[in-house]
Amino acid sequence: MALSRRQALSLGGAGLITASVVPLDVWIRQARAEYTMTRYDAASPEGKAMLKIYADAVGQMKARPPTDPLSWQFQFFTHWMPEDKAAAIERIYGPDTTPEKLAAEAMWDTCRGHITWSGEGDWFVPWHRMYVLYLERIVRQVSGDDSFTLPYWNYTDPAKAAIPEEFRDPASPLYVEDRNPGINVGTRVMTELNLDFMRSRNYLDTAIGGFNSMLDANPHGQVHVNVGTRTNMGNVPTAAKDPVFWIHHAQVDRCWASWNAAGGANPTDASWTDKEFQFYDPVSNQLVSTKTGTVSTTEGLGYVYQDLIPAPQPLTAMVENDKLMESLPLVLADVPLTAGAPSEGPVKLGTGPVTARVAAPQMPLTAGSGDEAKRTYLVISDLATEVQPGVTYDVYLGGQQIAEARNEAWRVGQIHFFNAAPSLEAEAKANAIFTFDVTDQMAVLAAEQGGNPLPQVTFAPADAPAAEAEPLIGNIRFVLE
């Protein structure tokens, strides 16, 4: 018996595992009774105590056979898989139908938000909230400690940007050798982490993206690629096998809670709130279906975070920047591209800087003119690659000379291809959007060139990309919003 991965599983009668759709009022009542707790910063004394419980439980889960829904591999495969799903289920479970096999059929390979089914990226944060909730419940069940809460890795604090020391001990079940150079000796994840998602006014995408997709790109995807590698955290199909994945996603969940606390509103339309996802509940021994709307706030689930990210200060109007002005001659020094025409078609990145010319928005961009309530954004989307490059790419306004000089005044951020590689799922589709506020840089360019410039955008790998990778950028545009 095989069930479609896009169908709701409804198992009745006898069996080790059963499944049911949990009504909203029942779920909330059960969840509040269990989650009257606090998730702690992994660097705090309370967080370190929780990491000890986590390490012991992870060790036990890794010792369980992959057929067991409480095993580490079963939970890892729920996110995504590095092999064909049907073949893996047949290899692990054999030809006979069992409740555990049906649970794997329903759950494995069902991550939303990265490499996912077309049109389902809008559930990135709620799907992962459920995923973390149920893993937290499994750790409690395996450890026998009902007080356990999953700590969060607060890497948006520069003082805590190194992977917690508990994950760097080779004797610990939390240790994984397959991480990027320096990570396991305490090197900070690269500092190109930002809180731009906190400024988004919309959960769903507008012309410059939205909270959900912006958070997915950075810091979420940025941390995955920085921790790496292409066979571990840096690649969607293998990411969840690293125990650090889970404290990373507790932080992602904290980002969502922080955005809500700062005034960000979740969708209320039934097409979003009534979306159901399935996970294994170790307490009731059930495969349960839970609606997005029942997990849209941490308060509704009865748990809180030790602290939240504060609301950002409002952005100022366009201002003149001395460093931008000083380096302007270098920005304009490159040979014009194809008679100044915007680039057409995908831009193929390489081992060195690659430059494209992009049309600017059609309105005056000089400082102090135009609609000062609007800002200028560089939006990069439609990324694709057959092979993960394994590195991030710096993005500059200006040509190759400004990139080769690594001029920080004109470097607007970084992109990565964590969400862009194909998966083994035929219906997979990536939806990454990278958005950078370039108001000040564009004002300086417009004042120098008069009216609307045709700025150059250059992409330079921050490290050596995989030789076989040929990443493409399908859409580069400037947006006023």
Instruction: Kindly report the pTM of this predicted structure.
Output: 0.89
Percent of the chain with pLDDT over 70: 83
DSSP state of 147: T
Per the CB < 8 A criterion, the answer to whether 457 and 355 are in contact is: yes
- Domain ranges for the chain, please list them: 18-305, 322-480
pLDDT band (50, 70, 90) for residue 112: confident
Q: Do domains 18-305 and 322-480 have the same CATH topology?
A: no
What is 322-480's CATH topology? Jelly Rolls (2.60.120)
Q: How many CA atoms lie within 13 A of 200 on its CB side?
A: 30
At 121 the pLDDT is: 86
Measuring CA to CA, which residue among 228, 212, 237 is closest to residue 78? 237
DSSP state of 445: H
Q: Which residue has the tokens 């989307």?
A: 381
pLDDT, averaged across the chain: 86
Distance CA 249, CA 227 (A): 13
Q: Residue 474 pLDDT more than 50?
A: yes
Q: Residue 449 pLDDT more than 60?
A: yes
pLDDT single digits (tens) 339-388? 456 677 789 999 999 999 888 776 555 444 444 568 889 999 988 888 89
For 271, phi then psi, to 5°, come to -65, -25
Percent of the chain with pLDDT over 90: 63
pLDDT band (50, 70, 90) for residue 10: very low
Q: Residue 12 pLDDT more than 70?
A: no
At 446 the pLDDT is: 82
pLDDT single digits (tens) 241-251? 999 999 999 99
Average pLDDT (214-232) is 93
Q: Which residue has the tokens 């014009």?
A: 336
Q: Residue 3 pLDDT more than 80?
A: no
Helix, strand or coil, per DSSP, at residue 12: coil
Per the CB < 8 A criterion, the answer to whether 267 and 274 are in contact is: no
Q: Residue 317 pLDDT more than 80?
A: no
pLDDT band (50, 70, 90) for residue 334: confident
DSSP state of 152: B
Average pLDDT (442-450) is 82
Measuring CA to CA, which residue among 76, 67, 79, 64 is closest to residue 141? 64
Per the CB < 8 A criterion, the answer to whether 164 and 246 are in contact is: no
At 194 the pLDDT is: 87
- Strand segments, DSSP code E, in 267-406 are 276-281, 286-291, 303-305, 347-348, 354-357, 376-384, 393-397
The amino acid at 278? Q
Average pLDDT (106-120) is 77
Residues paired with residue 52 on neighbouring β-strands, in sequence order: none
DSSP code string of 72-120:
HHHHHHHH--SS-HHHHHHHHH-SS--HHHHHHHHHTT---SSSEETT-
Average pLDDT (101-129) is 86
Class of domain 18-305: mainly alpha
